[in-house]
Copies of this chain bind each other. A is one copy, B any other.
Amino acid sequence: MNLLYTLDLLGTAAFAASGALAGVRRNMDLFGVLVLGLVTATGGGTIRDLLLGDTPPFIFKDETYLYLSLCVSVAVFLFHRNIDRFHHPLLYCDAVGLGTFVVIGTSKAIAFHIGFFGSIMMGVMTATAGGMVRDMLSTHVPLVLQREVYASACLAGAALLYLLHFTPLPGNYASLIAALAVIVLRLLAIRYNWSLPRASHNEHAD
């Protein structure tokens, strides 16, 4: 499915940019920026493949993802001063990446006969685990655990795809619908500043 592969690469590039930028902001050296770019872009899918027992993971079967992440990270390292200009395009690409990664992860889990909960976990993990490792490597509490409907959009899309899988709808259409659901939810969440409830816990973190 060529469209999905194209969207996948677009998302990979956007995720690599977000990781590399985090490295620049943490004042890391060139190697650190590359590692954060690579991990953010490919970490989620790699952990998914490890859990499914599909080794070596996808990044070693098609090195396009690695070279693309590398090039984007180097570009961010060199031109990070101008990156504000790309703030909006990056947000859109990031949303496209989110939708694509959720669909790829969930579909793969279904193909490996994982159940409902597990398939949704795989979809959400494919889209968010790379960013969580990025935040752990820079000793920040992962953003995705703290704010916005980032993960919820993934949850909704993954659940939708799992259910569509039992309808006579062809797989390509189901994937497209689920990916669009994630992307639209994510963009609406940004626009209207949605957020999930927190437990109203007043003490500071101990």
Contact = CB atoms under 8 A, between A and B. Distances in A.
Interface in A128-144: 132, 136-142, 144
Contacts of A25: 201, 203, 205-206
**Chain B CB within 10 A, most for which of A57, A115, A141:** A141
Nearest to A78: B199
A28 B198 contact: yes
Interface string A25-36: 111111111011
A24 interface: yes
Contact of A63 (B116, B136, B198): B116
A50 to B, nearest CB: 6
A32 B205 contact: no
Interface in A184-206: 195-199, 201, 203, 205-206
Interface in A60-80: 60, 63, 66-67, 70, 77, 80
Contacts of A60: 51, 114-115, 118
Interface string A67-97: 1001000000100100000000000000000
A147 B115 contact: no
A55 interface: yes
Q: Chain A, interface size: which category? A: 35 or more
Interface of A: 23-33, 35-36, 46, 50-53, 55-57, 59-60, 63, 66-67, 70, 77, 80, 112, 114-118, 121, 132, 136-142, 144-147, 151-152, 155, 195-199, 201, 203, 205-206
* Top 5 A-B residue pairs of the complex, sorted by shortest distance between their CB atoms: A53-B55, A32-B145, A29-B196, A60-B118, A24-B199
B55 A198 contact: no
A57 to B, nearest CB: 6
Given A51-B57, A53-B55, A138-B205, 13 more contacts: A24-B201, A25-B203, A27-B205, A28-B198, A29-B197, A31-B151, A31-B152, A32-B145, A32-B146, A51-B55, A63-B115, A137-B141, A139-B140
